[in-house]
Structure 1
Amino acid sequence: RKKMSSQVSWLVFWVMIVVVILNIVEGGADEETKVHIVYLGEKEHNDPKLETASHLRMLESLLGSKKDASESIVHSYRHGFSGFAAHLTDAQAKKISEHPNVVQVTPNVYYELQTTRTFDYLGLSHSTPKGLLRDAKMGEDVIIGVLDSGVWPESESFNDKGLGPIPKRWKGMCIDGEDFDSKKHCNKKLIGARYYMESLFRKNKTDSRIPDTEYMSAREKLPHGTHVASTAAGSFVSNVSANGFGVGTVRGGAPGARIAVYKVCWQRRDGSCASAEIIKAMDDAIADGVDLITISIGRPNPTLSEIDAYNQISYGAFHAVANGIPVLSAGGNFGPNDYTVQNIAPWIITVAATSLDRWYSTPLTLGNNITLMARSAYKGSEIQAELMFVYRANEMTSAAKGKVVVAFITTDNEVMDYVSTFSTVEASGLIFATKREDDLKVSEGMAMITIDYEQGATIFKYIRTTSSPTIKISSAITLNGPLVATKVAEFSGRGPNTISPYVLKPDIAAPGVAIVAASTPEKMGAEDGFYAESGTSMATPVVAGLVALLRAVHPDWSPAALKSALVTTASQTDPYGEPIFSEGLTRKLADPFDFGGGLVNPNKAADPGLVYDAGAEDYRLFLCASNYDEVHITRISRINTLYRCPSPRPSMLDLNLPSITIPFLKEDVTLTRTVTNVGPVDSVYKLVVEPPLGIKISVTPNTLLFNSNVKKLSFKVTVSTTHKANSIYYFGSLTWTDGSHNVTIPLSVRTQMLKYFSY
């Protein structure tokens, strides 16, 4: 299953969200209402109760009575910022938007979920006495906030064996609900469990569009949140497999960390994850005391801008980052086309998905003794049969009885035509030649196997040149190690960034294909409680677990410093030294638009040498450079007066990112970056540049000297082009090295002699 998967403000922070169209009877007349989010900016009161009281007073003045105000309000946002969600008609929403204290009013929108060997593959074996996992004490006492579809609390991945007391700084709670007893189901591992559904109901508290099969509690029905939470911080569980494959001990990236679950996604007919619930959960997570937030949620294209009223994840993440809480989000599952990456705000850590060095392949042995390794996994008895080829499903007649049928398909709809005929004609098996997909498909009992078009051509040629073609289908085998090349998954969202092309997205890549983790036992195939899932939803909690380890050893690092450490130490090769390629319509070497800095390298990220740091003010200046108006920037700020951009406005190129992306190069440009020394006090770094094709790079100075008095140094980069026409993006790198640390940032440059000209 592949699904995808802000900060405090001051006087001008406003929220967005919550659209549920309802018919409400008021004063005897039917009236259409929607949940709207009213964003007020910075809190007026430190006491949350007083803040909520002020929200009710504002609604009372609008609606005319305390009773109507109480019935209308859905959420009061009162921790990281001030605002509320309420049932309002369009006319009421327009009227309250004119209130002098209101920054913005927006309707609710909906997001989608984005969906062991993983950590050993990344060099974090728990049997190794050295390295980040040991230094971080497995993430001991770090609290990970997981915004998703809930949790299956009985899973062994959430056992609390060996864990100490819950950290005293934790202020959150476990809330009772349907089949969820906080005293029974929460423990020293699962320390928080909240659920949010108020905006999904009509004002009269009926018709939430949530089916009866869903749990009205933090317990999940959708098999997604449990997988995500256990991938990030699940406890050790031995003898685990998914469909009989991947047998071994499963654990999360930070098995010593604590988990706080915020259920914001529901099994519904018209959208899983409501923005009003997401923003409320992020507000609570900030107040609860989480150390990082992971959100495997996104919206389909078009991508929303960083300050778009409907982009609640971006707003909420800005609040969190301003409070020192890193936010990780899925890059989305709409790849492999360009411009499909999601969650593109520069303050978010956006994660792409790669494969592992493990796959489950089905051997197909032809009568000429050529064996092909099929992409999908077959579990069952060996099949030996004649082969036949058909162009269309209606060609599967009685002649197919007892035979294995091969067909080329281009759409999923064609599969159903073949499957419906399969049993009728009593064929022995089906082999589909189709495009490559990075999702583990297991055929159990009935042999329905997928191969790529190249393999299909091999079989087709054999059939056409052999009088009596035969095949042997064996049960799937596990392939491990360097034979299985690492690639960026076909579904993983790709850059460039559609909204801010000067900001490289995604930031980093991690395994997200066939990841074995906990699931609900109600899911078909996961009766033993574990399942292999694929998606950027799976890659994101992998990195979240690693960030938890980094927070444990570097608790003073900012969210930007943590991101920089991940990006500048990432690898462009797999753990065996082989180049990482990108899966898609055609295969190619992966570039920064596929995987950002590269494949995450956690042990190196713990000791990056230098970091590219940034804070809330840097992001505000970036928004100024992006030509957003000052009112919108104020909404996403921590100030209580209108934010004023400097004049002239800064360059978008000068945001201190661990990357340089220039989408419109014509004349020479010069930009600045600043690095902070987090390594040995007395350090000397030399410059190494690999320029993109046809691009000249000049850096001043070319040596950086740090000592006890010099912790930060800036350098200027001048970029020029030798191309005479509009070019594609070319890629390179800029590295500072002291002999033991290689601090590398990706370069992505496109020449545009005639801007916006494309043909």
Structure 2
Amino acid sequence: TRNCGTNLKSVMDDRFMNRISRPLQGRSYVVYMGSPPSGGGGVKLAEMMRAAHLEMLASIVPQEQRWLTHSYHHAFEGFAAELTEEEALALSAHERVVSVFRDPVLLLHTTRSWDFLDMQSGFRPDGGAPQASGDVIIGVIDTGIWPESPSFNDDGMGDVPSRWRGLCMQGPSFKKSSCNKKLIGARYYGDQLGLVAPNASLARVALSTGSPRDDVGHGTHCASTAAGAIVEGANYYGLAWGAAKGGAPAARVASYKVCTEDENGCSGSALLKAIDDAVSDGVDVISISIGKTATDTVPDLLTDPVALGAFHAHQRGVLVVCSAGNDGPDPSTVVNSAPWILTVAASTIDRAFHSSIVLGNRKVFKGAAINFSNQSLDGERYPLVFGAQAATRRAPASECSNCYPGSLRKRKVAGKILVCIGTDSRITRRIKMLVAEDSGARGLVLIDHKAMEAPIDTASFPFSQVGTDAGAQILRYINSTKNPTAAILPTKDVKLFKPAPVVASFSAPSSPRCRP
């Protein structure tokens, strides 16, 4: 039997293969083969391992279909390839193979924080970067990076650490000059296929659309949170004025893009390749805000790309920090919980964004939102209507109360402030807002205690979210008078908000069942 603690496995994503002009016979799989052989690294060893992987495929897969999409050979050994179910089963019986599994699609887990935590990150009062963290390299595996952000300005930074061996890959709207002494590396794995044919060189086959650039924003956000430089006067249209900075603002950043902006999400096999490369490149810390879908079963670590890659990174002295997931408050939904991972929950800070709701009876309720409403305390009040009161003839009460698309009569909503409940998670806050706007509403009040710590931005459309207690009082007011009215005030940011910190309601709680 093999020691699972010294082995890794990875999966492969067939969405990349769809762009290659060859018949597709199967799906993307990862073949995990454990720790790599000793004997150093370099191109020679990589060529030997790739040749061995192709030879292994040759015993199972016809030559014309023998392609590797990724070959892992730095921190662990394995490869990703297009396989049928029968071929995957045959490979799993090979004496050198630890496990074979389908390439999963992983999910993304979507400034004042460090001041609140009283964590000045080692910066001198004059804003200069200390030497203590200047040599730390943080690898961020996510959606890429937007290099023009001031968070990645390298003013005052010293030379790049000599141990750095990574790349700054080019692509559309991303040149080598996009990297600097702060953003020292950038790789991408989504639109650039790591296809390896029997006679191919180690060089990857790059498609014209591939780029390390972040078209989503999530990766840039995560990188700046971890290591963003100090940016004075940061604000959002006048809200939250202050200095934005990361937890280690003097640290270097290396970006690894494994997620795309489309429905294909984040490839597990690409994430494994990014971890393999990051360890070889010389990073000290790997940050991953990506994970598998939460389940109520004990996770299989030999089919979890994050757990496998993190294990071998840990063996090489690289700390892997992962998000716990955003499927709370449902119990036992935490992901990325392998014991060699530093798993981090989401918490609140002492700053809140309040948008007050003023009723016609002068009662005021503090809601959570980011909006720039033109309504005011002493200005015009607008009629209030609950979704259930504006239902179409055949709409179930549960749908119109949740403001389902098509469940409301527009003439009963137009010119009024619409009130919806949030008991159906399929109808997101953004969908409810679009329903309200499409119906001609003058604003939207959402009754939902979940995710109030993460208010959405609705621009100039008046929106505010309240908890169930305040919502019950608003509904009682609507039912108590013939002409209920209200106004939704523009957002104000509130500091020193209490209680804080607390675990955010959306943060995935609880540990999975114990493993032997």
Q: TM-score normalised to the size of structure 2?
A: 0.81
Aligned to 1:487: 502
Aligned to 2:204: none
| Most deviating of 224-233 and 86-95 | 86-95
Q: Distance in 1 between matches of 2:53 and 2:412?
A: 76
| Most deviating of 321-330 and 359-368 | 359-368
Contact 2:28 2:80 in 1 (8 A): no
Match of 1:385 among 362, 377, 381: 381
Partner-residue secondary structure (3-state), 1:354: coil
Aligned to 1:109: 104
Aligned to 1:163: 157
Residue identity in the other structure for 2:350: D
Aligned to 1:235: 229
Contact 2:385 2:413 in 1 (8 A): no
Residue identity in the other structure for 2:423: T
CA change 1:142–1:181 in 2 (3 A) is same
Deviations 1:633-666 (A, max 9, x none): xxxxxxxxxxxxxxxxxxxxxxxxxxxxxxxxxx
Aligned to 1:411: 424
Aligned to 2:326: 333
Deviations 1:74-108 (A, max 9, x none): 22222112222233444444444444333333332
Q: Which runs of 5+ in 2 are unaligned?
A: 198-206, 392-407
Q: Distance in 2 between matches of 1:360 and 1:421?
A: 22
Pairing 1:277-676 to 2, within 5 Å after superposition: 277-302=270-295, 308-383=301-376, 384-390=380-386, 391-394=388-391, 398=411, 402-411=415-424, 413=427, 420=435, 424=439, 426-437=440-451, 438-466=453-481, 468-483=483-498, 485-495=500-510, 497-500=511-514, 626=516
CA change 1:104–1:243 in 2 (3 A) is same
Contact 1:385 1:402 in 2 (8 A): no
Matched residue count: 479
Q: Distance in 1 between matches of 2:474 and 2:8?
A: 60
- 1:225 deviates by 0.5
Deviations 1:337-369 (A, max 9, x none): 111111111111111111111111112223433
Q: Distance in 2 between matches of 1:50 and 1:103?
A: 21
1:75 equivalenced with 2:76 (yes/no): no
- 1:254 deviates by 0.7
Match of 1:185 among 150, 157, 178: 178
CA change 1:99–1:167 in 2 (3 A) is same
Pairing 1:18-167 to 2, within 5 Å after superposition: 18-20=12-14, 31-32=25-26, 34-48=28-42, 49-60=44-55, 62-63=57-58, 68=63, 72-125=67-120, 137=131, 139-167=133-161
Q: Distance in 2 between matches of 1:77 and 1:134?
A: 40
Q: Distance in 1 between matches of 2:300 and 2:415?
A: 61
Partner-residue secondary structure (3-state), 1:444: coil
Contact 1:10 1:81 in 2 (8 A): no
Partner-residue secondary structure (3-state), 2:302: coil
- 1:290 deviates by 0.8
Contact 2:53 2:79 in 1 (8 A): no
Deviations 1:550-591 (A, max 9, x none): xxxxxxxxxxxxxxxxxxxxxxxxxxxxxxxxxxxxxxxxxx
Partner-residue secondary structure (3-state), 1:353: coil
Contact 2:122 2:132 in 1 (8 A): no
Q: Distance in 2 between matches of 1:428 and 1:124?
A: 42
Q: Which runs of 5+ in 1 are unaligned?
A: 1-8, 205-212, 502-625, 627-759
CA change 1:317–1:69 in 2 (3 A) is farther
- 1:306 deviates by 6.5
Residue identity in the other structure for 2:446: F
Contact 2:26 2:82 in 1 (8 A): no
Q: Distance in 2 between matches of 1:77 and 1:313?
A: 14
- 1:112 deviates by 1.0
Contact 2:385 2:416 in 1 (8 A): no
Residue identity in the other structure for 1:56: A
Partner-residue secondary structure (3-state), 1:378: coil
CA change 1:75–1:377 in 2 (3 A) is closer
CA change 1:17–1:121 in 2 (3 A) is same
Q: Distance in 2 between matches of 1:306 and 1:348?
A: 14
Match of 1:266 among 260, 268, 272: 260
Aligned to 2:190: 197
- 1:111 deviates by 1.1
CA change 1:177–1:469 in 2 (3 A) is closer
Residue identity in the other structure for 1:411: D
Contact 2:352 2:497 in 1 (8 A): no
Deviations 1:609-640 (A, max 9, x none): xxxxxxxxxxxxxxxxx1xxxxxxxxxxxxxx
Partner-residue secondary structure (3-state), 1:157: helix
**Rg: which structure is higher?**
1
Aligned to 2:240: 246
Q: TM-score normalised to the size of structure 1?
A: 0.57
Q: Distance in 2 between matches of 1:54 and 1:419?
A: 53
Q: Distance in 2 between matches of 1:455 and 1:429?
A: 17
Partner-residue secondary structure (3-state), 2:353: strand
CA change 1:455–1:360 in 2 (3 A) is same
Partner-residue secondary structure (3-state), 2:172: coil
Q: Distance in 2 between matches of 1:353 and 1:173?
A: 32
Partner-residue secondary structure (3-state), 1:53: helix
Deviations 1:403-444 (A, max 9, x none): 4344445336397578546555x5433323233323212333
- 1:450 deviates by 2.2
CA change 1:374–1:11 in 2 (3 A) is closer
- 1:136 deviates by 6.4
Q: Distance in 2 between matches of 1:23 and 1:427?
A: 44
Contact 2:11 2:28 in 1 (8 A): no
| Most deviating of 308-317 and 429-438 | 429-438
Contact 2:68 2:195 in 1 (8 A): no
- 1:186 deviates by 0.6
Contact 2:10 2:103 in 1 (8 A): yes
Aligned to 2:402: none
Aligned to 1:13: 7
Contact 2:356 2:364 in 1 (8 A): yes
Contact 2:150 2:231 in 1 (8 A): yes
Residue identity in the other structure for 1:216: G
Q: Which has the higher strand share?
A: 1
Contact 1:410 1:435 in 2 (8 A): no
Contact 1:180 1:217 in 2 (8 A): yes
CA change 1:303–1:433 in 2 (3 A) is closer
Contact 1:20 1:202 in 2 (8 A): no
Deviations 1:16-62 (A, max 9, x none): 31142768999x98733534324253314324322432431452364
- 1:165 deviates by 0.3
